[in-house]
Amino acid sequence: MADEFPFEISPMFEGERVRKDGMYVELAGPKSKGFELVKSVEMDEIEDGKFTLIGPDLSAMEEGSRHPIAMIYRIAGELVEQDLEAIVERRNHDFQNYIQGVMHLNQRYDIWIRVSKDAMKKGLNSFEQIAKATMMLFKNELPFIEKIEATYITDLAEVEKELDGAIATYTARDERTRDLHDEDVDVFYGCTLCQSFAPTNVCVVTPDRISLCGAINWFDGRAAAKVDPEGPQFAIEKGEIIDAEGGEYSGVNDLAKSLSNGEYDRIKIHSFFEYPHTSCGCFEVVGFYIPEVDGIGWVDRDFTGTAPNGLPFSTMAGQTGGGKQIVGFLGIGINYFRSPKFIETDGGWDRVVWMPKHLKDKVLADIPEDIVDKVATEEDATDLESLKAFLTEKKHPILERWVEEEEEDEEVVEETTTAASTMQMPTMTAGAPMMPAGLGLGSGSGSGGSGVKITLKNAKVSIDRVIIKKSE
């Protein structure tokens, strides 16, 4: 079928670059204008295979010149729907690159195309040939397209006239994409690029959780896994839902186990305290539990000071990295702050008490309105005392936990004292791992750990009896 074209068509030509020396014309690109757009329409609105050109054709263009171009494809078919437009549109890049002598870069209103002199010598002389070849590939490779029609525009005024409409379409599309959530998909993506220095680290990327390095979102994972399923990004079947709120899935657990060499076998994607996601050291932001206020603070790489717990980013990053599950610290990508599932199971934003000002400003629009003024920054609090004062003054929802905590503390004390046959006083400097009171202290002053000091404020400690025995 390709015989009708004066050029070869093959994926082989995909990486082909048309250099300036060998270029006949340049279309759109950084120094001109243009866009590509796919629109879904009703079957009777278009005529299959039809091509319309508005503006000068290739043959009328001078060698070495530059022109704007818009490429609009209208597609129809029983299965064609609006949601497919973006997927179809992105293929224009692939298909035009299949054409020998045509280089297509980028997408949307950033497209940049070059046609080579060689191709022109071999008989390419009209956009119609390129459009027909592209439409043929669309129909062959995406059989749900039953009808396709193309309009190319090379007249600047006409391109500009259509551009606003195209941009509106892209914007609307992006809004729909941002609305994709964990529950809407069956597959998550994993990444093991960083296993070279954190051998047990596995990043799980879901629609509601960007990778902790901030570089890979669910769509990137999907794109990479499709190109190279054996590569560093790969699909993870969700499997059974074990904990919807915490984000625990059997498929993720299975994979975590095998990829971490059995180091851990459960991951809760949206949990800070229970089976948290591992951190390889690449995270943009690290979250840290502040037991004194039972809240979570966040600090990013660009923050050079110390957080209210007295530690700088680098120290906490050191604690967090290495591909282990470290309860009390969590590495995340900045975009995770924008996720509706952001540490949902731990209270979400209501649990956040502190972050650096520049980081807060970055995600300001995505912080729930009722909490935004209650999250402290280094301008409000630099140590625990000032943090507590700020949270109290602002009536941060975390205060509710303090009340609960006090009650719990009393219970703990009672339990331990009645059970105490040996000295089991809740120590004031429990060497417990960083856990919220409900976890760490509820189990009765935990075992040795990172040497974190947990201070019980306002805890009424009553002791019936203290028996001191010599250890045998």
- As a residue count, the chain comes to 472
Binding-site member from 199, 214, 322, 444 for another protein (CB under 8 A) = 214
> 202 vs 441, which CB is nearer to ligand SF4?
202
> 212 vs 255, which CB is nearer to ligand SF4?
212
User: Which of another protein, ligand SF4, none interacts with 469 (beta carbon under 5 to 8 A by kind)?
Assistant: none
Query: What residue spans of 299-370 are helical by DSSP H?
Result: 313-320, 357-363
For ligand SF4 (CB under 6 A), the number of binding residues is 12
Q: Give the whole-angstrom CA distance, residue 54 versus residue 50.
A: 13
Binding-site member from 38, 194, 255, 355 for ligand SF4 (CB under 6 A) = 194
Stretch near ligand SF4 under the rule CB under 6 A, chosen from 112-120, 160-168, 209-217, 359-367: 209-217
Q: Give the whole-angstrom CA distance, residue 177 versus residue 87.
A: 12
> 77 vs 199, which CB is nearer to ligand SF4?
199
Min. distance of Cβ 100 from another protein in angstroms? 13
Inter-CA distances, 128 with 132, 302, 410, 466, Å: 6, 52, 81, 93
User: Which of another protein, ligand SF4, none interacts with 299 (beta carbon under 5 to 8 A by kind)?
Assistant: none
The yes or no reply on residue 184 touching another protein (CB under 8 A) is no
User: Which of ligand SF4, another protein, none interacts with 132 (beta carbon under 5 to 8 A by kind)?
Assistant: none
User: Which of another protein, ligand SF4, none interacts with 16 (beta carbon under 5 to 8 A by kind)?
Assistant: another protein
The yes or no reply on residue 163 touching ligand SF4 (CB under 6 A) is no
- What is the Rg, in whole angstroms, of the alpha carbon atoms belonging to the chain? 30
**Interior angle at CA 93, CA 87 and CA 94, nearest 5:** 90
Binding-site member from 86, 119, 163, 381 for another protein (CB under 8 A) = 86
Calculated CA dihedral for residues 255, 260, 261, 262, nearest 10 degrees: -80
Joined together, the tokens standing for residue 305 give 């000071």
User: Which of ligand SF4, another protein, none interacts with 203 (beta carbon under 5 to 8 A by kind)?
Assistant: ligand SF4
**For residues 208 and 339, is the Cβ–Cβ distance under 8 A?**
yes
User: Which of ligand SF4, another protein, none interacts with 54 (beta carbon under 5 to 8 A by kind)?
Assistant: none
Stretch near another protein under the rule CB under 8 A, chosen from 64-72, 143-151, 282-290, 407-415: 282-290
Min. distance of Cβ 86 from another protein in angstroms? 6
SS3 content of the chain, % helix, strand, coil (to 5): 35, 20, 45
Evaluate the CA torsion angle 281, 284, 286, 287 in order and state its sign: negative
The yes or no reply on residue 107 touching another protein (CB under 8 A) is yes
The yes or no reply on residue 15 touching another protein (CB under 8 A) is yes
Inter-CA distances, 74 with 37, 97, 126, 147, 172, Å: 8, 20, 20, 8, 18
3-state secondary structure of 396: coil
Q: How many CA atoms lie within 13 A of 330 on its CB side?
A: 31
Site for ligand SF4 in 16-55 (CB under 6 A): none
The yes or no reply on residue 224 touching ligand SF4 (CB under 6 A) is no
Strand partners of residue 150:
51, 73
The yes or no reply on residue 203 touching ligand SF4 (CB under 6 A) is yes
Q: Give the whole-angstrom CA distance, residue 430 versus residue 411.
A: 17
Inter-CA distances, 461 with 75, 409, 415, 435, 453, Å: 74, 8, 11, 20, 18
Q: How many CA atoms lie within 13 A of 301 on its CB side?
A: 11
The yes or no reply on residue 280 touching ligand SF4 (CB under 6 A) is yes
Binding-site member from 134, 217, 271, 278 for another protein (CB under 8 A) = 217
Min. distance of Cβ 331 from ligand SF4 in angstroms? 8
**For residues 270 and 277, is the Cβ–Cβ distance under 8 A?**
no
Joined together, the tokens standing for residue 367 give 């912080």
**For residues 287 and 303, is the Cβ–Cβ distance under 8 A?**
no
The yes or no reply on residue 26 touching another protein (CB under 8 A) is no
> 206 vs 445, which CB is nearer to ligand SF4?
206
Q: What does the DSSP 8-state code read for residue 206?
A: B
Binding-site member from 42, 174, 183, 404 for another protein (CB under 8 A) = 174
Strand partners of residue 324:
279
The yes or no reply on residue 285 touching another protein (CB under 8 A) is no
Joined together, the tokens standing for residue 127 give 């956009």
> 191 vs 269, which CB is nearer to ligand SF4?
191
> 153 vs 326, which CB is nearer to ligand SF4?
326
Element containing residue 295 per DSSP (H, E): strand 295-300
Q: Give the whole-angstrom CA distance, residue 315 versus residue 319.
A: 6
3-state secondary structure of 331: strand
Binding-site member from 3, 30, 230, 261 for another protein (CB under 8 A) = 30
> 144 vs 197, which CB is nearer to ligand SF4?
197
Min. distance of Cβ 130 from another protein in angstroms? 19
Positions that interact with ligand SF4 (CB under 6 A): 191-194, 203, 211-213, 215-216, 280, 282
Positions that interact with another protein (CB under 8 A): 14-17, 19-21, 30, 86, 90, 93, 105-108, 110, 112, 170, 173-174, 177-178, 180, 191, 193-194, 211, 213-220, 223, 232, 282-284, 301, 334-335
